[in-house]
Amino acid sequence: MQTHTKEALATVGAFLALSAVIHGGIWFTMFGTPDFRVLGFPFHYFWLVAGGPATLFVLYWVYYRYVTSSIMAEKEQLKAAADEGAVTGEVGVEPGDSDD
C-alpha cells in the first residue's frame, strides 16, 4: 500500500475512533445506559466526564505513534529517493518544508 493511502486510512480511522469514543450520547440513547457505577457515578456520567476524554488521549497517542514513526519514516525515504533521482538545482527550502 502506498504511503499516502496509509496516511489517509490512518486519518479516517483516527477520526472514526476518536468520534466513536466521545459520542457516548449517541450510544447511550441507542443502547441504553449501563447499570453500574464507577467512583460512585452512573457509568454514562463517568464516561462523559472522564472515561471518554481519557480514551481520547490514549487513541490519539496510538495515532501519534503510528504517524510519527511509520508514516514520517516512509515520507523521509520517499524524499531521499526523490533527491537521488532528480537534480533540481533548488537551493534552500520554502517556509515550512523542513519542519518535520
Residues that bind another protein (CB under 8 A): 2-4, 7-8, 11, 14-15, 18-19, 22-26, 28-30, 33, 37, 39-42, 44-45, 48-50, 52-54, 56-57, 60-61, 63-64, 67-68, 72, 75, 78-79, 81-83, 85-86, 94-97, 99-100
* Alpha-carbon distance values, 14 to 47, 53, 60, 61, 87 (Å): 19, 14, 7, 10, 37
* Alpha-carbon distance values, 43 to 32, 36, 39, 52 (Å): 11, 6, 9, 11
Residue 67 or 70 with smaller CB distance to another protein: 67
Give the nearest distance from C-beta 94 to another protein in angstroms.
7
Give the nearest distance from C-beta 11 to another protein in angstroms.
6
The runs of H, that is alpha helices, within 1-100 are 3-22, 24-31, 43-46, 52-65, 72-85
Amino acid identity of residue 84, one-letter, is E
Give the nearest distance from C-beta 65 to another protein in angstroms.
11
Give the nearest distance from C-beta 85 to another protein in angstroms.
7
